[in-house]
Every structure is written in structure tokens, then in C-alpha cells.
A and B are shown apart, each in its own frame.
Chain A
């Protein structure tokens, strides 16, 4: 096996950075959306559900292209940010956003499944004991969403590690800046001489994924035992 080069180490570091940032950024919003869908009755809920799940069915390249339209120099959000001095496209921020958008439906789905197992009578009990809705949210729903949070975060993290299509469009494939593991492998694979280099990075990818899944299983078992 060929030893890893410094750009490979950069790619591993960047992949982990992007995955952690995308997961942490999405958690609060994902929790809020899952709460809305599970517990709040409002008009147009189905529209929200469709929008949230859309990135799951769209090809990631399409998601990336829409993000490019939105965040590019001439996009309506991108132009505003550009004026304020923020550049998103072809930076690590873009890679984080792309991963967050693509992984978001998986996070919300797991959180929802977790929240749906909470007995609605517990929420009623909490309200009749004097808790306002946000108090119930923080003291009953959040602690009982533990298994959903763990499942959702690990899925989201794993999905971010593997994100390719949307990332390459909005963040490009710049070694040391936006090149994550999948992008580096892609680059190796497209050159006829770097087959072995690609294999080394593939192995790294497998190791990280196995660790994530192990941690996920261990934490899920721990919470199941506590219940």
C-alpha cells in the first residue's frame, strides 16, 4: 500500500471538519423541523415535509447546482453576501453547506422516528403540571429524543463523509482547501497512474465509516439499556 501524501492528510482533515460542522449546524434546525412536523398542527405541513425530503430524492448534483444558483456571485443570496464581504462558493463553507443540505432529510427522519415514540400523554402530563410548550420541549421532548438524536447525527455525519456531487459543484475540488476524501479519490481515479493512491484513501474511508457505525451502535445500546 502506498503511504498517504500530505494532500491526502489534508483531505482526511477537511472531510472530518466538513462532517462535524455540517452535523453540528444542522442539529438545531433539524430538531426544530422534526418537532414542528411531529407535534405541531399547521396548514401546509405537507409542503414542509416535501421540501425537507427533496434533497433525498434529487441527485446531489442537482442540489449542488441549485446551491450554486443561490449562493453564486450573481445568485440572490450570494450577491447580498458578496456585498457584505462574504464569499461562499469554492470555499470550505460551501462544502459544509452542501453536506448539510444533502444530509438534512436523514437527520430529520431519524429525529422524527425518535419523537414519534414519545407517548403524547407524557407531553399532556407535562402541560397540565404547569409547563409551557417550550418548557415541555426542553424538559420532556429533548431528553426523550436521545436515541433519535444519536441515530440522526451519526447518519448525517456518515452521509457528509461521503458527500460528493453537490460538493464538487459548489466547493470545487481544490487540494488543501475544499478537497475532501471522495473528491481526492475521484481525482486519483481519473489519473491512470494513481490507482494505488486511490486505494489507500478508500481504506481510510472504510476505517472512518466503521468507527462511526461502531460509536452509533454503542450509543444506541447504551440508551436502550437506560430505558
Chain B
């Protein structure tokens, strides 16, 4: 997907002024509320007309103030998943799912209804009314409805922010797998850096109605480490744990990590803040932290007043943060060997 967008839109005090070109299939739009994300989404979908500008999606002009082109939303083939599910309350699950499908011209219909219902695990719900569904089920139906419209681009406008934490992480795999499975590129809008890292490759950062930065989600997380209260969040893919002396041993790449919590799953994702990693120059004789990993320093980067240290632990990556004095005292340079100590209680398993 290639999208180039130039737009100016003014309402009262707020002014959206943006100009960017982006390509890829997993694009993020990141910013705090009031930064212009939702305005951008409405402009793209054709629900709001910019004062001036031009929108070109995969070579087709959707809007141009100069050429007086303004395709209405129904002709743009850009489907949306909203913050609130926005399901039609007078239709059952099946008819909600089929709403866009029935209106899609036959030549674009490539997605099979049954295959989609299977991927989203909706088969048992089809005849139910939508008002009786749980929050997660509603958002899955909303996602299915958007995908079945066979769009060329899917806009997800903070689709997880109305859900509680455990539901959020249950829905993320569906959001990812559905668009990958059916080959639909998406623009994922959120104010959560964690969601950006789980959902997107390339991120557009919005502030006060302007795009201020375009980076990968990883670069964004690293550059914000210094200002963030929680530091850089390492996301670790862990295997099935086994019990060991009152703790739980998880396979992690070629290493093993000891955690104080049990996940009871074959695969889980754990968060670890860069602030919770202590670095040692030499192997300490004895420490209370239950994880001590020998690592190689892959690189160093600066973020605010902090220095990020990218560590290679037997092929897997960890980011630790230290201050400049610590770098000097420990003699941390690229390629040097170092020991990282992490308490078993420092990890948080993401619900899922």
C-alpha cells in the first residue's frame, strides 16, 4: 500500500496541517489525544472534507482540492474499525458481517465469509443479536464486518482503547492475523506505544495537528525511553514454563528465564522495563536476582539523559538503560561482554 496525503483542515483553534508519503502494510499513527489522529482518519475515510490538499492511495486520487475531486466514503473502499464497535443494533451478527460484503462490487469480493468467520471464531454467534455479545466478541464482529467489505485499506481507529487490558491482548492476535491472512493493509491509530510495537512496522507520529516524525515502532520506543517513566519496555516471547524451586522457568530463545508468575500457556509475551535490568562488568559472586545473563553489547544509543544499551543474549535482544557515569565506570563499548541481572518479579506476563 502506498499513501500520500497532503491536507489542511481548520476548526476553530485546532489546525491539522500534514504532508506525508508512506508505504507498507502495517502503518501506525501515534499521538496523544487531540494530536489530530482522528481528524486524519476521518479525512482519509471521506467522512470529513479537508479545506485543501490531496489524497492519493495506490495511484488513485481520492481527494484533490485543485482538481475538485472528492470521492464519497462509499467509493473509497476504505473500511473502518471504530473505538466503539459501532455494530448495527437492529441486525444480528451475520447481517452485520454481511453489510459491507453485500455492498462490495462483485469484482472485488475475494474474502470468503466462512473462512473469515472461522478465523475470528464467530461461527457459533452468527444468529445472535449484537446487543448480547461481550465487548471482545463485539469488536471481533466489527473487525469481521470491515474485512468482509473487501477494502483496499483498513483504518483501525483506537480499536482497543474501549477494552480492558485482558481483552485488549486477546483481540490483538485477531487484528494481526486477519489482515495478514486476507492480505489487507492497515493504518492502526493509537496513543499506546506498546500497541504500536505489537501491531505496526512503520509509525507516523502526530503532535498538535502535524506529523512530526516517521520512524519504525522500535526506533520510536528507543527514542522515547529517556522521557518515559517506565523506560523502554522489552517484549519477550516466552515458551511453556516449568516449575523450579517455587519459581517458573521459561524458555527464552536459547536461554532460560526465571519468573515469579505462571502463564500456563505454550507461548506468552512478557514485559520487562529497561529500568529493571542491572548491569555488571564481571560475574558477581552471588546476587539475589534470580536471572543473570551473560551478554554482548551490540550497540549504545542516547535518549534524553539516559543511555540505552542493546544487549545480545545468545541471539535474543534486551535493552537496558543506564546513565553516562555507569557507561564510563563499566567501560561499556560495542562488542564488550557484560552481565545483566534481572529479578524474577520484574517481569509482567501480558494477558492473552
Mask of A119-154 contacts with B, CB within 8 angstroms, 1/0: 101101111111110010001100110000000000
- Separation in Å of the B321 CB from the closest CB of chain A? 41
- Separation in Å of the B171 CB from the closest CB of chain A? 18
Which of B77-85, B253-261, B310-318 interfaces with chain A? B77-85
Given contacts A124-B45, A143-B90, contact A132 B84 (CB under 8 A): no
B146 part of interface (Cβ distance < 8 Å): yes
Given contacts A124-B47, A227-B131, contact A129 B79 (CB under 8 A): yes
B74 part of interface (Cβ distance < 8 Å): yes
B73 part of interface (Cβ distance < 8 Å): yes
Partner of A124, one of B80, B89, B131: B80
Complex Cα gap A187–B204 (Å): 78
- Separation in Å of the A209 CB from the closest CB of chain B? 31
Interface residues in B54-94 by Cβ distance below 8 A to A read 72-74, 76-80, 82, 84, 86, 88-90
B149 part of interface (Cβ distance < 8 Å): yes
Partner of A127, one of B47, B77, B104: B47
B280 part of interface (Cβ distance < 8 Å): no
Complex Cα gap A139–B96 (Å): 11
Given contacts A124-B45, A124-B47, A126-B99, contact A131 B89 (CB under 8 A): no
Partner of B86, one of A119, A130, A139, A143: A119
Number of A interface residues, CB 8 Å? 18
Number of B interface residues, CB 8 Å? 26
Q: Does A130 contact B82, Cβ atoms closer than 8 Å? A: no
Given contacts A122-B86, A143-B90, contact A128 B99 (CB under 8 A): no
Q: Does B73 contact A128, Cβ atoms closer than 8 Å? A: yes
List chain A residues, Cβ under 8 A from B76. Answer: 128
Complex Cα gap A189–B103 (Å): 62
Partner of A135, one of B46, B79, B103: B103
Complex Cα gap A77–B54 (Å): 50
Residue of B74, B79, B80, B84 with most chain A CB atoms under a 10 A cut-off: B74
Q: Does A144 contact B90, Cβ atoms closer than 8 Å? A: yes
List chain A residues, Cβ under 8 A from B26. Answer: none
Residue of A124, A132, A227 with most chain B CB atoms under a 10 A cut-off: A124
Partner of A125, one of B78, B86, B103: B86
Q: Does A125 contact B74, Cβ atoms closer than 8 Å? A: no
- Which chain B residue has the least Cβ–Cβ distance from A136? B74
Q: 17 more A-B contacts (CB under 8 A) besides A124-B73, A129-B145, A144-B89?
A: A119-B84, A121-B84, A121-B86, A122-B88, A124-B45, A125-B88, A127-B47, A128-B73, A128-B74, A129-B79, A129-B146, A129-B149, A130-B77, A130-B103, A131-B103, A135-B74, A139-B99
Write the residues of chain A forming the contact surface with B, with a CB cutoff of 8 angstroms.
119, 121-122, 124-132, 135, 139-140, 143-144, 227
Write the residues of chain B forming the contact surface with A, with a CB cutoff of 8 angstroms.
45-47, 72-74, 76-80, 82, 84, 86, 88-90, 99-100, 103-104, 131, 145-146, 149, 155
